[in-house]
Amino acid sequence: MDGRTYGLGLIGRREYSVHEFCEKVKKKFPEEDLEVMVLEFQEKDWLSDKRYCAAFIHQQKITTQAGPRVIYQKLKQKGVDTNRIKESLLEEFSREEQERFVKILRSKKRPFIKAASEFECEQKLQKYLIQKGYPYELIRSS
């Protein structure tokens, strides 16, 4: 097996960011000319950071209800370009959708918060939503 065959096998199973793809192939085939392979795969639209971001954002919203800030950090750690992340978040995670998630998370979490007062309960809810990655302005307004 060569690096190209290995790379095709990887992207045949799931989406990868370009950085993630390069790291995986380089680990197994350090002598492989990755630039040529990546360019070919991108030209054929087999490897795409845009598609990867869309899939990743969708998966994070559904499985973890993560907010845009947490998703941004995770994508950054995976080596995706900052501008690509911002663009994808704008396209894939609208403000209305974020508001809906904040309301859902609030209603799910509220019964489990033990607090002496309503103010304390609200503070704990806000802290929880901030940790989930939602913007403070959005949390306050909902």
In terms of pLDDT, which residue wins out, 31 or 98?
A: 98
Interval 39-65: pLDDT, tens: 999 999 999 999 999 999 999 999 999
Which pair of structure tokens corresponds to residue 20? 């993630």
Closest to 44 measured CA to CA, from 36, 32, 53: 36
pLDDT at 6 exceeding the cut of 80: yes
DSSP string across 19-78? HHHHHHHHHH-TTS-HHHHHHHHHHTTSS-HHHHHHHHHHHHHHHH---HHHHHHHHHHT
Which residue do the tokens 């199973």 mark?
13
Indicate the average pLDDT of the chain: 94
pLDDT grade for 75, boundaries at 50, 70 and 90: very high
Average pLDDT for 20-30:
94
Interval 98-112: pLDDT, tens: 999 999 999 999 999
pTM: 0.89
Q: What is the pLDDT of residue 141?
A: 85
Q: Is 93 exposed, middle or buried (0-12, 13-18, 19+ CB in 10 A)?
A: buried
Cα distances from 24 to residues 20, 88, 141, in angstroms, run 6, 24, 43
